[in-house]
Amino acid sequence: MRGGCAAAAVAVPWLALLALARQPPEKPSAAPHLTRRPFLVAWNVPTQDCKPRFQVSFDFSIFDLDASPNEGFVGQNLTIFYKERLGLYPYYTPQGVAVNGGVPQNSSLSEHLARLQEGIEKYIRSSTKEGLAVIDWEEWRPVWARNWKPKDIYREASQGLVIQRHPTWPPEKVNKQAAFEFESAAQEFMVKTLRKAKSFRPKQLWGFYLFPDCYNHDYSKNKESYTGQCPDVEKSRNDQLKWLWKESMALYPSIYLDALLDSTPNSRKFVRARVMEAMRISQKHHDDYSLPVFVYTRPTYIRKLNVLSQADLISTIGESAALGAAGAILWGDAVDTRNRELCQLMKNYLEGDLGRYVVNVTTAAELCSTTLCQGRGRCLRQDSHADVFLHLNSTNFQLRRRDADHSEGPLFWAEGQLSSADILFLRTHFHCHCYQGWQGSGCQTRAGPRSHAPGPLAPLGLGVLLLLASWC
């Protein structure tokens, strides 16, 4: 196991004692979904056309899930519901034309709910199938103050509805009433959508993409002084959304990296704050367990079709795993695969740095879970701000790739075993976040009759990845 740029772990006895004294999070984690692995990685890039159009084929065997976000793909383990795929979502077009009433308080909630079943049954055929179900509604935000440009139209339309009824009211009174009506309707619209969706497909982990958000994008203005921290006002606004967290079955924050962050220290600061805010929210609003957090990341930078550097793979996937996220979803759109060159770029990346790193982190997370937590919990950093990661020690593990002599199994796997120094490193820098139904520093004790936890993971065979380059 490795942390930051260190070539090997240095044993610090007092840190080991501190690790034993540290208490795990107050609430247990929801048991892992689908794969039963502590950290899953999903591929959600529309690469399905690369083979028929450009003769570029992909091997997704290293991923726990692979699904296409494009229209026409149904019955997948990961389903995204864009605004046109689920009910009658109210919004304004870029030309200012109202669709389905424009704002939630001017829409028909009953008609929307009546149409939900059609969309859900189209894309998720089975009522008993497990999966991730993500609602991607980005046109307006349910907190009034967050609808700044170019979303001002939702505040203006809401104010206009109040003025129609009360033309003599002063602007302050109009604004206050408009905010109340908008937020109340937005809450009801989102809550009832989730409740209805859960009733139709209860085995799916329903949640909204981009929630919670952190609004820590000031890296472009303050490159030298950027801390990445979520503003206190935004944390407070996230707390106002307790009604949303209470109804959600998972959280799906975004950690997409702007090209300005490419391989800079600020990329890790940006991601760390966003994942930590999601983890904070995950602990607060369900009585018996914390919500699973699945981060949305991209294989490329925003507005730049360059694949993530190795440093930024650590700052996204690696950071999320070390902070206790349940998984990472690699999302892309049609632009990423619009020609042969881009398809080949994505294939080379998947079969190179990306694939090796995914195998590295997912196997390291599983090894940590089985070693420290008996497969009944996932490993979290002792210190959220420390640059230590669930990485495999390249001295003890070696990457293997499928070849003629090994034609079965995944594209990559690893061979090796943890040394006593590796285990000490884990115990020093990580602790167990037990799954629901288990407790204790090593998740060794049943918490009670309401346990929903799975049995422990089967011990890994000799497995993981030889890191062919520095992970710094």
Give catalytic status of residue 319 as yes or no.
Answer: no
Q: Which amino acid is at 261?
A: L
C-alpha–C-alpha distance, residues 330 and 298, integer Å: 5
Q: What is the rounded distance in angstroms from the CA atom of residue 47 to the CA atom of residue 343?
A: 7
DSSP string, 333-347: -GGGGSSHHHHHHHH
Q: Strand 131-136 relative to strand 78-82: parallel, antiparallel, unpaired?
A: parallel
Coil, strand or helix at 226: coil
Cα Rg for the chain, rounded, in angstroms?
23
Phi and psi torsions of 164, nearest 5°? -60, -35
DSSP 367-393: HHHHHHHTTSEEEEESSTTS----B--
Alpha carbon distance 134, 259 (integer Å): 26
Structure tokens at 267: 């990329």
Provide the token pair at 290.
Answer: 């914390």
Helix axes 13-21, 420-429, angle to 10 degrees: 50
Opening angle at CA 255, ends 338 and 393, nearest 5: 100
How is residue 460 written in tokens? Answer: 């890994």
Inter-CA distances, 421 with 1, 9, 10, 377, Å? 9, 7, 8, 21
Residues 6+ apart with CB under 8 A from 114: none
Report the alpha-carbon distance of residue 68 to residue 333 in Å, rounded: 9
The active-site residue out of 71, 84, 111, 138 is: 138
Contact assessment for residue 238 and residue 281, using Cβ atoms and an 8 Å cutoff = yes
Q: Which helix (H) or strand (E) holds 183?
A: helix 171-200
| C-beta separation of 407 from 338 below 8 A | no
Catalytic residue ranges = 138
